[in-house]
């Protein structure tokens, strides 16, 4: 269907071109040149040939186009004649250029015919309006020829643009009218300016050929302005690191494709996010990260189809826009090829880097009614894909609501990070005598509308969006400040902060912790980091190294939720841990389930044999507290002692006498002490 109408159109235009050539040949007359007249014709001819041979790349609409500045002289020759000379020169210049570029014969025939047709139509109109013979020549241009010459220029412009935009629309399977209108809009300002200068140039040359350099000035000015505009457009529309189109250009092209799409066609948008890029950037440095992004861009560009746009949206996020799909399986196939292209490791700084990617796909009009919504939907699909890493997900309206809410929630968290996160504190006490041994820091989000939100509701999303990193830093800082304040009040207690898996992959973490401790004037002994088995096992070597350096600061390391993850005993042996916390699911069931109790006992034995302190969390009643003590747990934590509470409540709780296994627990010495004594400790 496509090739049929395309070829039919090309043949019609070619036939028109041939008829024009014939018509021109039939009207061939030799002009009666004077010396001055010949000079003018020669200068116009030279301008046409030079302009045609010195094209420049300029930015038109949303892409580069090859542009020649010969139009002024072509129209000049059309209005003065002899027309055959204009036709011969234009054809000759075009022919040499197309042959040099090895254009296929049909394309060459079309381009020649298109110009011949446009020129012939323009000359016919001019001849009709001025009573000049078609093949004639006039040495003097008069003012009453001004309007006909402008109309001839307009015809030349319109025929050219219409023929080109129609052939491109047919070749790209786009809708005709929007294509024609789009091309007219893109071309009209600069081209009409160049064409309308033609009568002025003719008049000036006829006045004296010496004015030739002056005639060039407006053309040079237009050319320079177009180039400068192109340069600044290119800068505004491209990513400076990779040279790829940026978000603005992607949207522009998306909108154009959407305007031109025919019934039944889809546009696919693939959003691609690299997995673990942040870790690579943090660990190996930004120069490696930048180089990696450049290499990734090149690989992505090498697998897409002609006509697809690869863009970088920022950070490690890329997009591929695929217009004109009649079969959406093409998008999935492309997604597979993109992931495959990244599968070969990247060699950087003598390291072989594996980079996975998650891809979300959305289709227009199937999933969205505009390009903005298409981006949004692809973003949702990518968010879902990221949960499972290294996979492709097509947008599905069923998980939409949940995801949109989550995305909105993360935006709110980003905004409220400094003011709305609150820390609660929960004591860990010695099983033997109930004396306070440490405090766990647990974050909550005091949402202005939803009220207090617990970590289960926002941690996973914060982890996926990367917000967890600034969030943990903020929690650590506040926890350490709290430790300093309690210390000044006489409560000298170790604070345990939960760490996400991302931090264990961050080689900068130990240095950041050291800097924070120093700025609060505290030693590492005041802090414990709680990590889960799984977060260690996702990259045991790197995590092991980070934890060892954290231990060197004097900070304790606790393995949280012990028993629920998958850790190898060998890693447990070599890990720089100081404590295991048996997961509360075993603890809470221990009084009812022999099996859970057996797990608690085995975990406690294992911990002790490795020289670790053993904590039972989730103690809600006396029976469980006794059971855990009898099973060998060293420390207990749970609602029975105190639910996670604001700092002031924890402090008050510490200073309240309470009973433990029939005895009154010894209270911490919380009398205010002089400042110098505080600093000494």
In the complex, the smallest distance separating the C-beta of residue 471 from ligand C2E, rounded to whole angstroms, is: 7
Candidates 208-216, 404-412, 606-614, 637-645; binding stretch for ligand C2E (CB under 6 A): 637-645
Provide the token pair at 571: 């890693």
**Does the footprint of ligand C2E cover residue 639 (CB under 6 A)?**
yes
Q: Please identify, using beta-carbon distances, which residue of 222 and 628 lies nearer to ligand C2E.
A: 628
Other CB atoms within 10 Å distance of the CB of residue 4: 9
**Does the footprint of ligand C2E cover residue 500 (CB under 6 A)?**
yes
Which of 561, 579, 596, 634 binds ligand C2E (CB under 6 A)? It is 561
User: In whole angstroms, what is the distance from residue 172 CA to residue 80 CA?
Assistant: 38
Residues 6+ apart with CB under 8 A from 117: 13, 16, 17, 20, 159, 163
Q: Are 355 and 300 in contact (CB under 8 A)?
A: no
Q: Is residue 263 packed enough to be buried (19+ CB in 10 Å), middle (13-18) or exposed (0-12)?
A: exposed
Candidates 125-133, 147-155, 225-233, 522-530; binding stretch for Mg ion (CB under 5 A): 522-530
Select the binding partner of residue 31 from ligand C2E, Mg ion, none (C-beta < 5 to 8 A, by kind): none
Select the binding partner of residue 636 from ligand C2E, Mg ion, none (C-beta < 5 to 8 A, by kind): none
Greatest CA separation for the chain: 128
**Does the footprint of Mg ion cover residue 530 (CB under 5 A)?**
yes
Strand order in the sheet with 266-274: 309-314, 317-325, 266-274, 357-364, 392-394
SS3 of 265-316 = CEEEEEEEEECCHHHHHHHHCHHHHHHHHHHHHHHHHHHCCCCCEEEEEECC
**Does the footprint of ligand C2E cover residue 442 (CB under 6 A)?**
yes
End-to-end CA distance of the chain: 86
Q: Please identify, using beta-carbon distances, which residue of 64 and 454 lies nearer to ligand C2E.
A: 454
Q: Is residue 626 packed enough to be buried (19+ CB in 10 Å), middle (13-18) or exposed (0-12)?
A: middle
Candidates 1-9, 160-168, 435-443, 570-578; binding stretch for ligand C2E (CB under 6 A): 435-443
In the complex, the smallest distance separating the C-beta of residue 536 from ligand C2E, rounded to whole angstroms, is: 14
Provide the token pair at 439: 């405090």
CB burial of 41-52 (b: ≥16 within 10 Å; e: otherwise) equals bebbbebbbebb
Select the binding partner of residue 379 from ligand C2E, Mg ion, none (C-beta < 5 to 8 A, by kind): none
- Running DSSP on this structure, what letter comes out for residue 493? -
Candidates 83-91, 293-301, 448-456, 669-677; binding stretch for ligand C2E (CB under 6 A): 448-456
Instruction: Give phi and psi for 237, each to the nearest 5.
Output: -105, 0
Q: Please identify, using beta-carbon distances, which residue of 64 and 639 lies nearer to Mg ion.
A: 639
Which of 52, 239, 506, 561 binds Mg ion (CB under 5 A)? It is 561
Backbone dihedral region for residue 515 (phi beyond 0: left; psi -120 to 50: alpha; all else: beta) = alpha
**Does the footprint of ligand C2E cover residue 533 (CB under 6 A)?**
no
Closest-by-Cβ residue to ligand C2E is 638
- Running DSSP on this structure, what letter comes out for residue 60? E
| Strands in 523-680 per DSSP E | 527-532, 556-562, 579-582, 613-617, 635-637, 659-660, 663-664
**Residue 615, helix vs strand vs coil:** strand
Residues 592-631 that bind ligand C2E (CB under 6 A): 617-620
Q: Please identify, using beta-carbon distances, which residue of 267 and 582 lies nearer to ligand C2E.
A: 582
Q: Please identify, using beta-carbon distances, which residue of 324 and 644 lies nearer to ligand C2E.
A: 644
Q: Please identify, using beta-carbon distances, which residue of 561 and 634 lies nearer to Mg ion.
A: 561
Select the binding partner of residue 13 from Mg ion, ligand C2E, none (C-beta < 5 to 8 A, by kind): none
Residues 6+ apart with CB under 8 A from 297: 242, 243, 244, 310, 312, 318
Binding pattern to ligand C2E, positions 388-427, x when CB under 6 A?
A: --------------------------------------x-
Which of 379, 520, 560, 579 binds ligand C2E (CB under 6 A)? It is 560
Q: Please identify, using beta-carbon distances, which residue of 21 and 475 lies nearer to ligand C2E.
A: 475
**Does the footprint of Mg ion cover residue 560 (CB under 5 A)?**
yes
Which of 17, 360, 438, 638 binds ligand C2E (CB under 6 A)? It is 638
Residues 468-507 that bind Mg ion (CB under 5 A): 498
Q: Please identify, using beta-carbon distances, which residue of 273 and 583 lies nearer to Mg ion.
A: 583
**Does the footprint of ligand C2E cover residue 584 (CB under 6 A)?**
yes
Size of the site for ligand C2E (CB under 6 A): 25
In the complex, the smallest distance separating the C-beta of residue 492 from ligand C2E, rounded to whole angstroms, is: 22
**Positions in the binding site for Mg ion (CB under 5 A):** 498, 530, 560-561
**Positions in the binding site for ligand C2E (CB under 6 A):** 426, 441-443, 454-456, 459, 472, 475, 498-500, 530, 560-561, 584, 617-620, 637-639, 644
């Amino acid at each position: 269907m496509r090739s049929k109408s395309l070829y039919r159109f090309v043949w019609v235009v070619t036939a028109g071109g041939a008829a024009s050539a014939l018509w021109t040949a039939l009207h061939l007359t030799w002009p009666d040149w004077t010396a001055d007249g010949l000079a003018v014709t020669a200068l116009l001819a030279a301008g046409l040939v030079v302009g045609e041979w010195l094209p420049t790349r300029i930015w038109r609409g949303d892409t580069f186009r090859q542009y020649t500045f010969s139009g002024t002289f072509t129209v000049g020759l059309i209005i003065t004649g002899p027309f055959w000379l204009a036709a011969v020169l234009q054809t000759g210049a075009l022919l040499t250029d197309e042959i040099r570029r090895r254009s296929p014969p049909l394309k060459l025939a079309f381009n020649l015919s298109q110009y011949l047709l446009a020129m012939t139509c323009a000359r016919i109109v001019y001849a009709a309006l001025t009573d000049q013979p078609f093949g004639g020549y006039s040495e003097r241009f008069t003012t009453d020829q001004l309007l006909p010459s402008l109309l001839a220029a307009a015809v030349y412009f319109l025929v050219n643009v219409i023929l080109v935009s129609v052939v491109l629309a047919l070749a790209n399977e786009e809708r005709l009218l929007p294509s024609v209108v789009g091309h007219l809009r893109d071309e009209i300002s600069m081209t009409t300016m160049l064409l309308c200068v033609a009568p002025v140039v003719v008049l000036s040359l006829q006045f004296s050929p010496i004015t030739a350099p002056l005639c060039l000035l407006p053309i040079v000015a237009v050319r320079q302005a177009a180039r400068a505009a192109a340069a600044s457009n290119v800068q505004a529309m491209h990513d400076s690191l990779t040279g790829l189109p940026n978000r603005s250009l992607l949207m522009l092209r998306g909108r154009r494709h959407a305007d031109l799409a025919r019934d039944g066609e889809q546009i696919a948008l693939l959003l691609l996010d690299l997995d673990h890029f942040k870790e690579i950037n943090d660990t190996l440095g930004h120069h490696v990260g930048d180089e990696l992004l450049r290499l990734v861009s090149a690989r992505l560009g090498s697998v897409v189809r002609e006509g697809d746009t690869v863009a970088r949206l920022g950070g490690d996020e890329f997009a591929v826009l695929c217009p004109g799909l009649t079969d959406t399986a093409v998008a999935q196939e492309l997604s597979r090829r993109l992931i495959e292209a990244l599968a070969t490791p990247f060699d950087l700084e003598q390291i072989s880097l594996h980079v996975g990617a998650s891809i979300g796909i959305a289709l227009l009009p199937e999933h969205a009614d505009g390009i903005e919504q298409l981006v949004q939907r692809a973003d949702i699909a990518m968010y879902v894909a990221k949960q499972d890493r290294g996979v492709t997900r097509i947008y599905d309206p069923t998980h939409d609501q949940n995801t949109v809410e989550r995305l909105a929630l993360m935006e709110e968290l980003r905004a409220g990070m400094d003011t709305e996160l609150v820390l609660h504190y929960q004591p860990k006490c010695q099983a033997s005598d109930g004396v306070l041994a440490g405090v766990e820091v647990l974050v909550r989000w005091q949402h202005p509308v939803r009220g207090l939100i617990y970590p289960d509701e926002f941690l996973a999303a914060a982890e996926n969006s990367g917000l967890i990193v600034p969030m943990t830093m903020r929690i650590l800082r506040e926890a350490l400040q709290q430790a300093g304040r309690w210390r000044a009040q006489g409560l000298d207690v170790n604070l345990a902060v939960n760490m996400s898996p991302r931090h264990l992959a961050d080689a900068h973490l130990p240095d950041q912790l050291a800097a924070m401790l120093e700025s609060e004037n505290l030693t590492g002994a005041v802090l414990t980091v709680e990590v889960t088995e799984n977060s260690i096992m996702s990259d045991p070597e790197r995590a092991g190294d980070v934890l060892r350096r954290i231990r060197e600061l004097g900070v304790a390391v606790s393995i949280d939720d012990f028993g629920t993850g998958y850790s190898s005993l060998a890693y447990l042996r070599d890990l720089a841990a100081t404590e295991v916390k048996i997961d509360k699911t075993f603890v809470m069931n221990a009084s009812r389930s022999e099996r859970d109790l057996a797990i608690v006992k085995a975990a406690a034995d294992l911990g002790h044999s490795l020289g670790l302190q053993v904590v039972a969390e989730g103690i809600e009643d006396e029976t469980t507290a006794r059971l855990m003590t009898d099973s060998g747990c060293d420390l207990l934590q749970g609602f029975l002692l105190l639910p996670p509470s604001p700092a002031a409540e924890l402090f008050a709780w510490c200073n309240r006498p309470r009973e433990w296994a029939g005895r009154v627990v010894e209270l911490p010495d919380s009398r205010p002490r002089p400042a110098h004594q505080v600093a000494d400790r």
